[in-house]
Structure 1
Amino acid sequence: MLPLVYSGQSGSLSAFLYMENSLDPKLVNGKIMICDRDSSPRIAKGMVVKDVGGATMIFTNSNSSSEDLVADTHMLSACAIGFDEGDAIKAYASFAANAIATMAFLSSKLLSLFFFER
């Protein structure tokens, strides 16, 4: 189980976009980061998280992307999820006092399991 963090709630545009030097390593190191899919390059976002010690990433679709998923090659473990599931996970991470999750990759295919404790 690892802490689950949604940087979109920080209010900082650069942290929301995962721009270089925008994430505080103390808040990211060893954690599962929730990242909104937007116009910023997804692979670049993964490098920002990796560089500050993030354990893994969850890419959530925007409303305009809905449930369409895109596979990317990242430098750390990552998965993409649809808009509806993303909203549920972001809500949990934003409102739970100590949001935690587990992400397990069962094969080379994009297959992930999330377990949340409340």
Structure 2
Amino acid sequence: MRFFGLKTCDACRKARKALEAAGRSPQVIDVRADGVDPADLQSIVAAFGDRAVNRSSATWRGLSEADRALPVPELLALHPTVMKRPVIEAEGAWHLGWGKDVQAVLLGTAPPSA
């Protein structure tokens, strides 16, 4: 399991804590400190497309209009902290964010019934 996030991100800290409490030991990749391998970036964009960009982040708000207009792969390569987090790769499957659906898959919890 690989975990792409930021050490300062609240959602990332919650996700890591929950995964570790469930006995998972994710390999943590800090997108700011470690960067994102181009092959991983390509896989993330292939899996999530535009949803991989967090348009409500402080990083996004600080970008120039020219940067915001870049294709998603180029934007994320130049500004990896604009990526929605966490991104988790587990057993060949990619997961975006830390919503109930991702928690159910990675923690083995059943989603709430409707």
Which has the larger strand fraction?
1
Higher relative contact order (CA 8 A, sep 6+): 2
* Both structures adopt the same fold (TM-score exceeding 0.5): no
Larger Rg: 2
Could you state the TM-score of these two structures normalised by the residue count of structure 1? 0.27
The TM-score with structure 2 as length reference comes to 0.28
